[in-house]
Amino acid sequence: GIKPCVSAFGADQFGAGAAEDDPAVRRYFAVYYGAINVGSVASFAIVPVVRHECGYAVAFALPATLMVGALAAFASARRSYVHSTPTTPTTSKPGGANDDDDDDDGR
C-alpha cells in the first residue's frame, strides 16, 4: 500500500510555511498520486505480458530493477532533502500505549 510517511516526507520539502492550497503543493500531490496509479496500472498490464513472453525470472527482475533504480535516485539526492524532526513519539508499546501512559494496569 501507499505509506503515509512518504507523502508527508514529500510535503516537508516545501517548508513549514507552505499552505495547503499552494499550487506547488497541489501539483506535488497530483503528480505523486498520479505516478502511483500509472505505475500500478502499468505493472498490472506489463508484468503478465513479460512473464508470458520471457518467463518468471525476467518478470520479477523487471520491477526489482526499477525499484533498485528508484532507490538509487532517492539515495543520490539524500543530502538535499529537508529533514523534519517528529513532534510526537514515533514508537509505542504493544497495544498502542505510548511511554507517557501513566495507567498502572498496563494498557
Looking at the predicted structure, is the pLDDT value of residue 26 above 80? yes
The answer to whether the beta carbons of residues 82 and 12 sit under 8 Å apart is yes
pLDDT at 5: 82
User: What are 33-86's pLDDT values in tens digits?
Assistant: 999 999 999 999 999 999 999 999 999 999 999 999 999 999 999 888 887 777
For range 14-25, the mean pLDDT: 80
